[in-house]
Structure 1
């Protein structure tokens, strides 16, 4: 992809119904602070429910943090087409249903369709799979996607940085996603050697 100096980096963020909506919110909040990034967000029906169950945020507040917001049933959205240039997609958290549908090419909603487009255009696709324990089907689906170039970044905390709060753990996860997207972050939780 040719990068034009004044073009913003376009990142698609799909939020599915797995637990861990806080990871998506933190990513969206931090991307909003990056001046050369444009965010395109989609929440599945169950992601909206988890937003209510797990946080104090309203969907309207999240929509206001995004540059563009799409309904998950809108298969005519710009991000459903490969001709709409994006610089990557993050599915955070990624439910095992979503992982499975993408692994077998079922693009029946906008999140799975946008992921399918990301794959066919050979763009960066990152998944934050959120399930434990993992069964063989989960592992096989993630392995299949990994072989296609999908980067799996499960929310597994690091403790070398001595986290004190849940936010410290979330910050570290967002740092990993920023790194995978090639976006500079001001994280202080990096390993500095011994």
Structure 2
């Protein structure tokens, strides 16, 4: 009898960058990781402005999907065993809820559960410029054990397309869970055959 696939909770909140959540689901499917998805109402607005996706198409990429107001969902309990959770992208509202323990949506509740169970929580915080409140909330969640991973481009990878930039960022995020999506350019590999950088 084989072992069940590992599970990861994916939250997509209302910050710009809906495509990060979509591509993350695609990569996790390729890695045979079971995904439990919840999408905020704000994310649906962002989806409509930024992409041609429909919610049904995005939901089809996940193994389980929960309404953002379903506080009785499986992922709202620590008894649901997962590798952890990724919020991609993470809005400042969602960050603030996680930082203060206010769990008004399933995303912030599942994140709270992830922290209390001492599992990895990675937040692709998406905002600029940052206010002092944003920075303090990032400090607070970091002190709680979360990892704040803003989706910033790695130019050493010399990305030729937006898709390449997204894939590199998500590859590095999945590294944090011990998963290799094969999409991250490793430092040094780019320059292995070009001699010293000048």
TMscore range, shorter length: over 0.9
Q: Does 2:3 align with 1:6? A: yes
**In 1, distance between residues paired with 2:136 and 2:184?**
35
Matched, 1:40 2:32: no
- 1 CA distance for matches of 2:184 and 2:106? 35
Provide the C-alpha distance between the structure 1 equivalents of 2:184 and 2:23, rounded to a whole number of angstroms: 16
Q: Which aligned pairs between 1:170-181 and structure 2 lie closer than 5 A?
A: 170-181=166-177
Residue 5 of structure 1, CA deviation = 6.5
Aligned 8 A contact 1:129 1:154 in 2: yes
SS in 2 for 1:91: strand
1:99 matched to which residue of 2? 95
Q: Which residue of structure 1 aligns with residue 62 of structure 2?
A: 66
TM-score using structure 2 length: 0.92
Q: Report the secondary structure of 1:11's partner residue.
A: strand
Of residues 114, 118, 131, the one that matches 1:118 is 114
Q: What TM-score, normalized by structure 1, do the two folds share?
A: 0.94
User: 1-side partners of 2:145 and 2:157: how far apart?
Assistant: 29
In the TM superposition, structure 1's runs of 4+ consecutive aligned residues that sit over 2 Å from their partners are none
Instruction: Quote the Cα distance in structure 1 between the aligned partners of 2:183 and 2:168.
Output: 7
13, 16, 19: which one aligns with 2:13: 16
* Residue 157 (structure 2) aligns with: 161
- Partner of residue 140 from structure 1, selected from 136, 140, 144: 136
SS of the residue corresponding to residue 122 of structure 2 reads: strand
- Whether 2:24 is the aligned partner of 1:27: answer yes
Count of equivalent residues: 190
Distance 1:188 1:105 in 2: 33
Aligned to 1:56: 52
Structure 1: where are the runs of 5+ without partners? none
The answer to whether 1:85 aligns with 2:81 is: yes
Separation in 2, partners of 1:152, 1:170: 16
Tell me, in whole angstroms, the C-alpha distance in 2 between the residues paired with 1:81 and 1:13: 15
The higher radius of gyration belongs to 2
Ranges in structure 2 where 5+ consecutive residues have no aligned partner: none
